[in-house]
Chain A
């Protein structure tokens, strides 16, 4: 995807970026900043948002597809006096590939009528790429957190088995791994069950400190 495909000499486009997620907003802003003047709004709604738009008069509005503020932006299309330049939605284009790409990535864009698609497209592409990148980072983080949590549970279960059944660390681990294979359950689930059962038998719940 091109991030610097904007034609020379034209004044940079003014982009309003609306995103509740400050982290992602920063990512997208970083991507756009070479080719556009970017204003970012992270917690602005309703009348304040409309006032902001009237003040900066953006050429392009890029926002999260699922933002509740989208309905506010849609109303601009019909309120001529507060915004003389009609706003046209990216999703109104024909063809649909771009539209599906954008929606799938969670990006929606509103573009001032009359702007050359060529000028806008690189910005939209960048936003789509950055939204996807953030999704990737998030999934990775989520997985890391889950792995870490699973490891903690397994360690604790091992500890309990060693304590209550006089097993060595290796024995405790291999006994859980056998249970995991026999029951077709992830090791973490087996460890959770072990914590619950051993905890119950010893009169306290193994999950008490979670």
Chain B
């Protein structure tokens, strides 16, 4: 008899692995009867996973790392053995702000990847003129969007905590917020960048793959206790997702995938917007350019589904950098709890999918495609560069974090996460 499972997902194009696995019968083929449940808020999805209302979730990779680090509700309860996709986000600003940037620094605005230097000049000028700071949005405090946006800003000397206002706006509302002038820019997943460009109200400046090539985006999150109690089911789930991700990485299949996920049950957006987001064809970046970016979404190649502990550690390094995790945390232990490459390999080896031999790698050292030889079978890998060409050595987090001149000097966690109201019921 098929095992019944409920998985949560968000209304974004990178729900494709779950939606396609369901619609093309991959879950059924592995003996799983999966129900998919859509959420409009990450907090609601987290609560549903934490309380057991759902068994697994299409989740922001930093949410799992935050839980493993003991930050927020459900401390040390979530884990992931499967990265669903790499890249896939972008930063978009209002047309007015783009024009102001182009006016201030016409020479930097044409260079890719587009630096936030022109934005810094606009911000400095606004300060001199005594104007309100600009407002940028991302989608959740613990998200790659928040980390990528801050990384891009800080690389140009903008302090994201002081030089502008950062707010959280749900993805489905960012375009409206930009149009109404409530916010001046945002970092979000698709189709919400494309939607602003198509509507003529915004310009996409840079994609997340240009900030960090092939960084992890969403993961399949489960409760650690669930993973222990349902090991066989977990393996079947990962096998179905691995096969689906491989199918999704064939560009021709992305059209079919766009047909599936643009429907009301999933992303519920026009097919044209979704297909552009999914294939990376004719993408706007650099404010003006239209280019094909086949790696805009990576679902399988480059060992994409392998949950690298160096990815978890990079996320943790940024959380510490911005005062969102205690600086004295045992980063090795957190990365081990957050990401489970051991479970991943057990699930996919029978399918003939190659498995890296190490759990970590240097990040930021390859500007081009390269061959990972330390694996059950050599794997063609993609670039892993950061915008500022910094190298991330997962064995030296302290050195990495202190090398940033723009960072939060004191933890903003303060008493907050240690003195939670322990019981309202008492």
Contact = CB atoms under 8 A, between A and B. Distances in A.
A117 B426 contact: yes
Interface string A114-127: 01010011001000
Interface residues of A, number: 45
B168 A93 contact: no
A95 B425 contact: yes
Contacts of A75: 140-141, 166-168
Interface in B37-68: 39-44, 47-48, 50-51, 53
Contacts, number: 132
B420 interface: yes
Interface string A75-117: 1011111100010111111111111100100001001010101
Given A68-B170, A95-B423, A78 B412 contact: yes
A46 B167 contact: yes
A122 to B, nearest CB: 11
Given A47-B183, A68-B170, A74 B422 contact: no
A108 B169 CA distance: 18
Contacts of A111: 421, 424
Contacts of A50: 167
Contact of B414 (A73, A79, A80, A88): A80
Nearest to A124: B424
Interface in B155-192: 161, 165-170, 172-173, 177, 182-183
Contacts of A95: 423, 425
B303 interface: no
Which of A79, A96, A108: most chain B CB closer than 10 A?
A79
Contacts of B44: 65-67, 70, 108
B169 A45 contact: yes
Contacts of B177: 45-47
A103 B425 CA distance: 15
Contact of A121 (B137, B161, B415, B425): B425
B135 interface: yes
Interface in B403-426: 412, 414-416, 419-426
A99 B412 CA distance: 26
Contact of B137 (A46, A68, A88, A97): A46
A67 B41 contact: yes
A1 B337 CA distance: 41
Contacts of A65: 44, 47
Given A47-B183, A88-B420, A89-B73, 19 more contacts: A45-B173, A46-B167, A46-B182, A65-B47, A69-B41, A70-B44, A72-B170, A74-B141, A75-B168, A80-B412, A86-B414, A91-B47, A91-B73, A97-B425, A99-B51, A100-B51, A111-B421, A113-B419, A113-B420
Instruction: Please give me the 10 A-B residue pairs with the lowest Cβ-Cβ distance, nearest first.
Output: A68-B170, A75-B168, A86-B416, A117-B424, A46-B169, A70-B43, A70-B41, A68-B40, A72-B168, A92-B420
19 contacts: A45-B173, A67-B40, A67-B41, A72-B167, A72-B170, A74-B42, A75-B140, A75-B166, A75-B167, A79-B412, A82-B165, A88-B416, A89-B420, A92-B73, A92-B420, A93-B423, A98-B425, A113-B416, A117-B424
Interface of B: 39-44, 47-48, 50-51, 53, 72-73, 135, 137, 139-141, 161, 165-170, 172-173, 177, 182-183, 324, 412, 414-416, 419-426
